[in-house]
């Protein structure tokens, strides 16, 4: 079940809208491990990148038996070019601050429950600009968030100028792509690079070199599914808030969601206390929040009672707690310590049969190995 860095740790650096359809998006990803080694390796969903179109002539020449090793150029497309320019220009820039009533911020907070508490009022920055990519005009939105720990993350979403759009119509995609990018980035900065799963094209290109070359699509892994899940234009789609929250949880946890379904809990290793593991359990009926079981050096030590805000779906509460223990454990514990600590088995007699194994946080410096 362990996810290797190679299989999972990519940054979404840019979501860019297709000129052919407003609902089609390309994802430009940065290989984080290679970035830590000093290399910028970007990939994209588009056909041009997948087929390595820039080297098509070289490949044809090779197939025809002519010698041309020197013809190959770095794999790329106009989208990776745009992301490359973005990476070079926007790093570390402080942006104008916006309140939570801005439509972009509101959509992001609606869609990504964990960010509601982690990014305080005043922690949101937005910048918008017209940019040109290969003679096509784009409306670029940069969404920046500063968490309660001081960690900062930035998301980039590019809308093609050829589709009519308003502030309101852009809000849903900004919330979807932006929230995903920010939440994943905060987890990675906390040393737990497990948010979501590798987007499909990466699974095909980098992992599937063996006999299992064709990757099986996973729920939530395609562009349309990611966009369909939290898109506020789809609020009349028949999904209840609980179903929408469950979809967000599935998207965020990636492969770990199946594990959660199977065993009924997920473990979060403490970043503050070596040897401590938080075991987050779910009520099979999804009605009640369960107390968190705390293990010290693999021994079940106590229960923590952390109640959810009223009217929040149970899946939202689980995700908020999971994210909070990963990204801002100190704040979560500061809430708990007000008399919400109980002895073992305080809300159920299920025996613990799976060992709770503490794992150190992956630091950014050691992650490249």
- The residues of the shown chain that bind Zn ion, judged by CB under 5 A, are 44, 46, 49, 77, 79
- Which helix (H) or strand (E) covers residue 5, if one does? helix 5-8
Q: Could you tell me the smallest distance in angstroms from the CB atom of residue 25 to Zn ion?
A: 11
> Up-side HSE of residue 44: CA atoms within 13 Å toward CB?
24
Q: Are 47 and 77 in contact (CB under 8 A)?
A: no
Task: Locate 127 and state its tokens.
Answer: 């910048």
- Other beta carbons within 10 Å of 170: 19
Q: Which is nearer to Zn ion, 44 or 321 (CB)?
A: 44
Q: Could you tell me the smallest distance in angstroms from the CB atom of residue 79 to Zn ion?
A: 3
Q: Could you tell me the smallest distance in angstroms from the CB atom of residue 44 to Zn ion?
A: 3
Q: Which is nearer to Zn ion, 46 or 203 (CB)?
A: 46
Q: Which is nearer to Zn ion, 85 or 94 (CB)?
A: 85
* Strand 152-160 versus strand 10-18 pairing type: parallel
Q: Which is nearer to Zn ion, 157 or 294 (CB)?
A: 157
- Which helix (H) or strand (E) covers residue 131, if one does? strand 124-133
Q: Which is nearer to Zn ion, 44 or 268 (CB)?
A: 44
Q: Could you tell me the smallest distance in angstroms from the CB atom of residue 18 to Zn ion?
A: 9
> What number of residues does the chain have?
369
Contacts of 179 (CB under 8 A, 6+ apart): 108, 109, 111, 112, 115, 155, 230
Q: Could you tell me the smallest distance in angstroms from the CB atom of residue 80 to Zn ion?
A: 6
CA–CA separation, 131 vs 88, rounded Å?
14
Q: Which is nearer to Zn ion, 17 or 152 (CB)?
A: 17
Q: Could you tell me the smallest distance in angstroms from the CB atom of residue 296 to Zn ion?
A: 49
User: Which strands sit side by side in the sheet containing 265-269, from one edge to the other?
Assistant: 265-269, 276-281, 292-296, 299-304, 341-342
What phi and psi values does residue 74 have, to the nearest 5 degrees? -55, 140
Q: Could you tell me the smallest distance in angstroms from the CB atom of residue 208 to Zn ion?
A: 19
Q: Which is nearer to Zn ion, 82 or 187 (CB)?
A: 82
């Amino acid at each position: 079940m362990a996810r290797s860095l190679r299989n999972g740790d990519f940054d979404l650096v840019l979501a860019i809208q297709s000129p052919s359809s407003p609902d089609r998006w390309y994802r430009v990803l940065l290989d984080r491990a290679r970035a830590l080694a000093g290399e910028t390796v970007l990939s994209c969903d588009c056909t041009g990148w997948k087929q390595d179109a820039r080297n098509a002539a070289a490949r044809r020449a090779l197939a025809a038996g002519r010698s041309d090793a020197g013809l190959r150029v770095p794999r790329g497309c106009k989208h990776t070019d745009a992301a490359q320019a973005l990476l070079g220009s926007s790093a570390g820039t402080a942006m104008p601050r916006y309140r939570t009533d801005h439509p972009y911020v509101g959509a992001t907070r609606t869609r990504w429950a964990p960010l509601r508490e982690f990014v305080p009022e005043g922690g949101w920055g937005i910048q918008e600009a017209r940019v040109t990519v290969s003679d096509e005009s784009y409306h670029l939105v940069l969404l920046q968030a500063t968490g309660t720990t001081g960690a900062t993350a930035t998301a980039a979403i590019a809308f093609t100028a050829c589709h009519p759009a308003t502030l309101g119509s852009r809000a849903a995609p900004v919330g979807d792509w932006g929230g995903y990018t920010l939440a994943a980035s905060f987890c990675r900065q906390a040393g737990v690079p497990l948010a979501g799963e590798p987007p499909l094209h990466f699974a095909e290109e980098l992992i599937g070199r063996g006999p299992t070359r064709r990757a099986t699509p996973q729920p939530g892994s395609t562009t349309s599914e990611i966009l369909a899940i939290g898109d506020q234009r789809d609020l009349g789609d028949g999904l209840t808030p609980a179903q929408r929250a469950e979809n967000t949880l599935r998207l965020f946890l990636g492969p770990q969601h199946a594990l959660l379904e199977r065993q009924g809990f997920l473990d979060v290793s403490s970043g503050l206390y070596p040897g401590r593991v938080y075991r987050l359990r779910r009520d099979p009926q999804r009605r009640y929040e369960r107390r968190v079981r705390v293990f010290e050096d693999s021994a079940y030590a106590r229960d923590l009672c952390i109640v959810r805000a009223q009217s929040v779906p149970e899946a939202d509460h689980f995700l908020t707690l999971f994210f909070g223990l990963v990204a801002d454990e100190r704040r979560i514990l500061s809430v708990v310590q007000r008399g919400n600590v109980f002895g073992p088995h305080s809300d159920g007699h299920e025996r613990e049969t799976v060992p709770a194994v503490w794992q150190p946080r992956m630091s950014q410096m050691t992650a490249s190995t």
